[in-house]
Structure formats: structure tokens, C-alpha cells
């Protein structure tokens, strides 16, 4: 069969999610032909995932009718024909609603197909001396074979109509023995790992993803960011995303010699190790930032505002943000005044109100509360919608308030008079105390996160729900 020359590079979607068939331009004359089998720039621009292949394999088949499969492997593949012609069959063997979906096509050297991890691959040669080639984005290993999923070529549910009947085709004994679809254990998807799962945000993420087996949670006992072994003892091939909810947050203690070292160790050195892991294994990295990366001289902070931290804590958070920004797929979620499960400003004020104490609270620092329940929902939204990588400000919505105004709201919602709270300046409040410098304006512009279709709830309504 002759090859069709000079096709335009185009793609064709298939019934299997993520499986895409490509027409490749082949240039030929009386001497033979030439094609760009894999051209990263053009193909990524066309929509092919930038799947970073690391190994190129070739299967040479001497006789027409040679049939191989159906094998679902724990890596992505970009498949084409070097010479000859094949009938290809692909079956979705991943967990999910498309499990069992089938796509078939005849292919020659002018076509290629992208097969995601977990989709079963099979082919039958239609000509003698056919070479079947594939790029893969992981190195083959004996250990990886235990992660394969197989389906019998003759499965009645898939109902693949082979051009050359299987009874007269050339098959291996192993392929003949593969299970029917009803007995296939679907290949699980890659997991999301939440680090710092026992902190305020970690607990909110636990609640949000409760019952989702694709999300794994690790407190410090399960994943110690400061221990290099934590990064080498895990098979990162089984993960797609890391959410880093761990951080050193002692703003004042970070100014001490011991605190300074701990802050840099957790907020910078450990984050660099996470970023390196994400780069090496092509993972998405979600990282939590802070309003403390700014000096507070502006009323409204945009994502692209240059860093201007005042203290050690802010400096370490800014350094961590800069590191994470080099990861191709990253989300830096910048928050302010975080409120969740555990000790925090709102709980402290509610306790004081209950005990009838009338506190003095800072009235010249302005910002918005960020409730962890909403931060977690925002993170899930960014991941599920595939929003453009980058930094996203996140707090609850509404007009910025001072700490004193928020404290008065807490007292009012607790049935106490707002006048129980006395406002004082930052300088007055910290007079004679060892304290880190704080930004006076922590308001974060929320237009970017809203442009993705996510609108944070108002700070005042969330405060009322939190106290209730």
C-alpha cells in the first residue's frame, strides 16, 4: 500500500479520552520518503501533551498477521509505524467512566497516535516486514511490569474485529492467556499527595477530599520535608500532583537564630526539594504563599507585584515562591490571615468574648480573612479546570478590614457588644515586645482567581458560618 504524501499535520479525537490520532506530513520522491515522526514544538502547539519521552522502542514483525496486546502500561506512549501497515486497537483500561471504551484504526507511516497511561494497546500487522515504533515517557524496568494491566485480544465485550482472524494470526501464549474485561482490575489513576495534612489547610483538604482514593495525605510523620529520604522512598511515577500545605509559620520566632534556621529549612530548602521532584517526575506542584511577601505599602496587591518582604518569614516565603515558579506546572496560591481548624485569631477572640475579656486589638493592619475550607475549594478548582499555571491570590471576598474590626465582628456574632474591643496601633500593641515587622496592608486583588470561574465567598458570611 502506498503512503499518502504531503498530508497536513492534523489531529483527530477518538472515543477514548486522551487518545488522539495524528496525520503526519510525509515527503517523498523516487528515492523514498522522509517524515518528522516526533517534532515537539509543532505537536505541542497542536495540543499533544508535552509528555517528555525518555525511551524509543521498535517492534519489528516479519510476517503479516502478527498480533500483539492488549497491554496497558504505566506510562504514556506516542506510537507510529516506521514501515509497513498495521491495524491498531486500543481499549481504555483505566478506572473511570470510559473504562472499556474501544478505538480501532488502520495506520501506515503517515499516522501516529498518542496513548495515555492505562489505555490498552494492541496491533496486528497487515504487511510483512512491518516496524512499529513508540516513544515512552518512562524507562522500562522489571518492577514496572507488575503495574501493567492486560486484556484478552478475543474479549467479547471489546468485540474487536481483527482483519486477520485470531485463529490464524501469530500470537504469543502469554497474550492468549490474558483475562476478559469482566476480570480486569482497572489501572488506578495517578494520585495527588497532600503534604502537611495535619495543619489547618491540610485538615480542610482532608475534609474536602474525604473518600477520594486518588488523594493521599501525609502528615509530618509520613512525609518529613526536612528528611531527604522522604523524597527517595516514594515511587513518584504513581503521582500527578503534590499539594504542599506544610510551612513554617512562626512569624515572630522566625526572627530568632533558631527560628530563622527552621524557617529557611522548611520554607526554602524543603520547597527546593519538592520543586526538583516535580521537575524530575513531571508533576504539578501546588504551593501556599503569603501576603508577607509584600511590605504592605500598597492597598491592593496583584500577583505580579515584586517581592518586598519585611521580615525573615516573608523572606523565606518569597524565596519559596521564586523556586516553585520554575516548575512548568505549578500553582502558587497566595493567601492572607488564614483561619481553619486549630488555634487562630478568630478562635482566640471568640474565647475572650465568652470569658468577658475586653481586648486591645491592632487597628492599622488591613486585609481579609482566608478560610481554609475556601482555600481548599479554590485549589481543587484550579486543578480540576486545568487553569493556567502561575500565582493566584486567594482570600475571602469583601472590603478589607482591620484586625480590630474583625475582632468586633466576632464579639457581635458571639452576642457581645462591639465596643468591648479597643483599637490600638501596631506600634502600641508591640511596644516592648520582640515581634517581626508586619505589612500594614494585606489586601489581595482577587480578579485573577475570579477569571477562572471561582468566586470566593465573602469574609463576613464565612466568619458567621465558622462561629456557628
Tell me how far apart the alpha carbons of residues 4 and 21 are, in angstroms, rounded to a whole number. 16
Q: Which of 22, 71, 132, 331 is catalytic?
A: 71
Tell me how far apart the alpha carbons of residues 216 and 207 are, in angstroms, rounded to a whole number. 12
21: nearest Cα among 43, 45, 4, 40: 43
Q: How many CB atoms lie within 10 A of CB 232?
A: 9
Tell me how far apart the alpha carbons of residues 444 and 369 are, in angstroms, rounded to a whole number. 11
Q: Which three cell numbers stand for residue 99?
A: 473504562
Residues, the chain: 468
Alpha carbon of residue 442 to chain centroid: 27
Tell me how far apart the alpha carbons of residues 315 and 308 are, in angstroms, rounded to a whole number. 8
The separation between the first and the last C-alpha atoms of the chain, rounded to the nearest angstrom, is 74
Tell me how far apart the alpha carbons of residues 369 and 279 are, in angstroms, rounded to a whole number. 33
DSSP secondary structure letter of residue 312: H
Q: Which of 22, 132, 134, 411 is catalytic?
A: 134
Q: Are 343 and 431 in contact (CB under 8 A)?
A: no
Q: Which three cell numbers stand for residue 157?
A: 465485550
Tell me how far apart the alpha carbons of residues 282 and 294 are, in angstroms, rounded to a whole number. 30
Which residues of 84-169 form beta strands (DSSP E)?
86-92, 102-107, 111-115, 119-125, 130-136, 149-150
Catalytic residue check, 132: no
Which residues of 373-415 form beta strands (DSSP E)?
390-393, 401-402
Tell me how far apart the alpha carbons of residues 331 and 387 are, in angstroms, rounded to a whole number. 9
Tell me how far apart the alpha carbons of residues 149 and 71 are, in angstroms, rounded to a whole number. 6
Q: How many CB atoms lie within 10 A of CB 105?
A: 14
* DSSP secondary structure string for all residues of 410-446: HHHHTTS-GGG-EEE-HHHHTTTS------SB--B--
Catalytic residue check, 281: no
57: nearest Cα among 112, 116, 134, 124: 134
Sign (positive/negative) of CA torsion 449, 451, 454, 456?
A: positive
Residues with active-site annotation: 71, 134
Amino acid at each position: 500500500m502506498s503512503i499518502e504524501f504531503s498530508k497536513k499535520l492534523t489531529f483527530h479525537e477518538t472515543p477514548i479520552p486522551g487518545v488522539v490520532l495524528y496525520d503526519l506530513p510525509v515527503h517523498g520522491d523516487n528515492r523514498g520518503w522522509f517524515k518528522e515522526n516526533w517534532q515537539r514544538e509543532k505537536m505541542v502547539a497542536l495540543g499533544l501533551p508535552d509528555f517528555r519521552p525518555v525511551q524509543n522502542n521498535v517492534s519489528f514483525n516479519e510476517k503479516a498477521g502478527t498480533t500483539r496486546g492488549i497491554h496497558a502500561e504505566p506510562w504514556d506512549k506516542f506510537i507510529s509505524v516506521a514501515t509497513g501497515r498495521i491495524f491498531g486497537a486500543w481499549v481504555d483500561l483505566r478506572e473511570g467512566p470510559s473504562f472499556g471504551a474501544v478505538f480501532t484504526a488502520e495506520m501506515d507511516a503517515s499516522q501516529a497516535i498518542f496513548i495515555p497511561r492505562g489505555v490498552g494497546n494492541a496491533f496486528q500487522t497487515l504487511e510483512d516486514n512491518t516496524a512499529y515504533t513508540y516513544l515512552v515517557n518512562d524507562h522500562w524496568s522489571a518492577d514496572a511490569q507488575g503495574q501493567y494491566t492486560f486484556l484478552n485480544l478475543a474479549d467479547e465485550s471489546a468485540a474487536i474485529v481483527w482483519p486477520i482472524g485470531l485463529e490464524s494470526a501469530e500470537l504469543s501464549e502469554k497474550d492468549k492467556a490474558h483475562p476478559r474485561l469482566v476480570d480486569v482490575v482497572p489501572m488506578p489513576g495517578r494520585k495527588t499527595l497532600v503534604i502537611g495534612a495535619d495543619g489547618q489547610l491540610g485538615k480542610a483538604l482532608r475534609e474536602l477530599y474525604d473518600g477520594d482514593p486518588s488523594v493521599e495525605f501525609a502528615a509530618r510523620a509520613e512525609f518529613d520535608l526536612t528528611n531527604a529520604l522522604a523524597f527517595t522512598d516514594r515511587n513518584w511515577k504513581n503521582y500527578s500532583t503534590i499539594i504542599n500545605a506544610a510551612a513554617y509559620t512562626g512569624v515572630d520566632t522566625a526572627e530568632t537564630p533558631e527560628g530563622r534556621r527552621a524557617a529557611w529549612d522548611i520554607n526554602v530548602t524543603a520547597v527546593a526539594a519538592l520543586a526538583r521532584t516535580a521537575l524530575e517526575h513531571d508533576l504539578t506542584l501546588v504551593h501556599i504563599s503569603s501576603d508577607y511577601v509584600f511590605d504592605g505599602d500598597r492597598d491592593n496587591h496583584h500577583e505580579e507585584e515584586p517581592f518586598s518582604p519585611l521580615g525573615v518569614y516573608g523572606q523565606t516565603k518569597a524565596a519559596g515562591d521564586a523556586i516553585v515558579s520554575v516548575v512548568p506546572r505549578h500553582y502558587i496560591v497566595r493567601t492572607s490571615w488564614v483561619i481553619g481548624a486549630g488555634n487562630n485569631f478568630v478562635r482566640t477572640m471568640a474565647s475572650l468574648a465568652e470569658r468577658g475579656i475586653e481586648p486591645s486589638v491592632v487597628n492599622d493592619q488591613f486585609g481579609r480573612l482566608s478560610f481554609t475550607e475556601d482555600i481548599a475549594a479554590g485549589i481543587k478548582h484550579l486543578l480540576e479546570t486545568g487553569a493556567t499555571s502561575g500565582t493566584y491570590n486567594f482570600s475571602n471576598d469583601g472590603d478589607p478590614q482591620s484586625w480590630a474590626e474583625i475582632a468586633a465582628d466576632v464579639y457581635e456574632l458571639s452576642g457581645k457588644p462591639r465596643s468591648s474591643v479597643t483599637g490600638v496601633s501596631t506600634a502600641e500593641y508591640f511596644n516592648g515586645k520582640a515581634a517581626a515587622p508586619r505589612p500594614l496592608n494585606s489586601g489581595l486583588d482577587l480578579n485573577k482567581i475570579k477569571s477562572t470561574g471561582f468566586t470566593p465567598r465573602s469574609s463576613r458570611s464565612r466568619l458567621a458560618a465558622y462561629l456557628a
